[in-house]
Amino acid sequence: SNASPGLLAHIAVAKYQDGLPLYRMETIFKRMGIHLPRNTLANWMMKSSELLQPLYNLLNDQLLESGYIHMDETRVQVLKE
């Protein structure tokens, strides 16, 4: 792809950490004069996840080998229901 690692990281953090949907990112990029359709953003996220799978597997193995696990189960509301 022609996306830089920094752009991919920005999109991933905005989507998965900040809860920003891809259609909103598409609108934000459009306001900046950048044509970046959400299907392209989605494809980039899918390809990135494939490339990061070995790292995820190593981290998961290390986590499961630890004596205990702490986690934050705070919910993120996506839609106002």
pLDDT in tens, 37-79: 999 999 999 999 999 999 999 999 999 998 888 888 888 777 7
CA 78 to chain centre: 15
What confidence score (pLDDT) does residue 81 get? Answer: 67
Predicted confidence at residue 32, as pLDDT, reads 96
Which candidate, 2, 66, 63, 81, places its Cα nearest to that of 34?
Answer: 2
Task: Calculate mean pLDDT across residues 14-38.
Answer: 95
Provide the whole-model pTM: 0.75
Mean local confidence (pLDDT), 8-15: 96
CB 1 within 8 A of CB 44: yes
pLDDT beyond 90 at 2: no
